[in-house]
């Protein structure tokens, strides 16, 4: 079985997003914890959450992925932005305890001119202040393209952040196929090498989720423009290989492809299930 879902709006609540996922053949999903550009989060609705937890149990959902707002930057040169980001993350993670045992993905941050080293130090320091020993959520650093002053375009940078974290069992990685390709990792012609590099530098045991996207741009372009599966430069063959890799089996695959409506995702999920050979290679 392949664990697959897509990014959906949680505006109607957890139960609604769960039902929406079931209706398109998904057994996981991703949602923004709040408006992607920041802002306040919706009130917690216990009834809605309980209804979702029942649904999750009944239909055997895999781990769901919360995505932090894009504007969050734990290592901003502006202290007010960095502090605000820390507060947002802490509040999000406290709220995640209402749906315990799931995943919280975020973009490591942009050093905005301070340099990678200082950026990494600030991110790790912030995480060390935020994470607590008995939290049930795993916090995922997303692999990025490395555009601008973005941190996380190199596996080494992710590793350096993790190295500094005190509560290492709370930290994992989400690999975004569009991002790593745009960052220069050739998952089309050399997937074996990229997986080995990931394992050598970060460790495959840290990999907790895959963002499955095609790319509008070319290898190493550092652009970060997602494309529908099979319509971009990564292409069908590479995606087919990726979903059949034993290293990725059991991970939630989340589509973040540009779709006009939910049917676009339904079709893509059907298509990817069709790629899945059902046995581990």
Active-site residue list: 37, 67, 70, 107, 142, 176, 179, 211, 224, 226, 256
- 48's contact among Zn ion, Fe ion, none, with CB below 5 to 8 A by partner kind, is none
* CB of 142 or CB of 268, closer to Fe ion: 142
In whole angstroms, how close is the CB of 256 to Zn ion at the nearest point?
7
Place of tokens 């997003």: 17
Token representation of residue 8: 């959906």
* CB of 224 or CB of 227, closer to Zn ion: 224
Sites of contact with Zn ion (CB under 5 A): 224
- 211's contact among Fe ion, Zn ion, none, with CB below 5 to 8 A by partner kind, is Fe ion
* CB of 138 or CB of 224, closer to Zn ion: 224
Say which DSSP state 260 is in.
S
- 224's contact among Fe ion, Zn ion, none, with CB below 5 to 8 A by partner kind, is Zn ion
Place of tokens 């996981």: 28
141 to 180: interface string for Fe ion, x by CB under 5 A: -x---------------------------------x----
Token representation of residue 221: 């372009």
In whole angstroms, how close is the CB of 277 to Fe ion at the nearest point?
25
Query: What's the CA gap between 142 and 109, in Å, rounded?
Result: 10
Site membership for Fe ion, residue 211 (CB under 5 A): yes
- Measured in residues, the chain has a length of 281
Query: What's the CA gap between 156 and 270, in Å, rounded?
Result: 35
Three-state DSSP state, 255: strand
- 157's contact among Zn ion, Fe ion, none, with CB below 5 to 8 A by partner kind, is none
In whole angstroms, how close is the CB of 64 to Fe ion at the nearest point?
15
The neighbouring-strand residues paired with 212 are: 255
Q: 136-162 burial string, b = 16+ CB within 10 Å, else e?
A: ebbbbbbbbbbeebbbbbbbebbbbbb
Residues in contact with Fe ion by CB under 5 A are 142, 176, 211
């Amino acid at each position: 079985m392949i664990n697959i879902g897509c990014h959906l709006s949680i505006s109607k609540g957890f139960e609604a997003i769960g039902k929406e996922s079931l209706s398109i053949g998904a057994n996981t999903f991703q949602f923004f914890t709040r408006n992607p550009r920041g802002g306040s989060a919706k009130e917690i609705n216990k009834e809605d959450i309980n209804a979702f937890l029942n649904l999750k149990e009944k239909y055997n959902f895999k781990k769901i992925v919360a995505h932090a707002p894009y504007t969050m930057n734990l290592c901003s040169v502006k202290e007010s932005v960095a502090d605000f980001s820390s507060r947002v993350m802490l509040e999000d993670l406290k709220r995640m305890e209402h749906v315990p045992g799931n995943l919280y993905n975020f973009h490591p941050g942009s050093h905005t001119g301070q340099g990678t080293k200082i950026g990494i130090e600030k991110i790790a320091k912030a995480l060390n202040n935020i994470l607590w020993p008995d939290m049930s959520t795993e916090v995922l650093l997303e692999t990025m393209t490395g555009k601008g002053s973005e941190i996380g375009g190199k596996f080494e940078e992710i590793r350096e952040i993790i190295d500094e974290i005190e509560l290492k069992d709370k930290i994992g990685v989400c690999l975004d196929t569009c991002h790593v390709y745009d960052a220069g990792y050739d998952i089309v012609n050399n997937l074996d090498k990229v997986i080995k590099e990931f394992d050598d530098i970060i460790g495959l045991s840290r990999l907790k989720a895959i963002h499955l996207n095609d790319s509008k741009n070319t290898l190493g372009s550092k652009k970060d423009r997602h494309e529908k599966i099979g319509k971009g430069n990564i292409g069908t063959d590479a995606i087919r290989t990726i979903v059949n890799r034993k290293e990725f089996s059991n991970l939630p695959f989340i589509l973040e492809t540009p779709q006009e409506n939910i049917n676009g995702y339904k079709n893509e999920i059907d298509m990817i299930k069709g790629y899945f050979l059902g046995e581990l290679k």
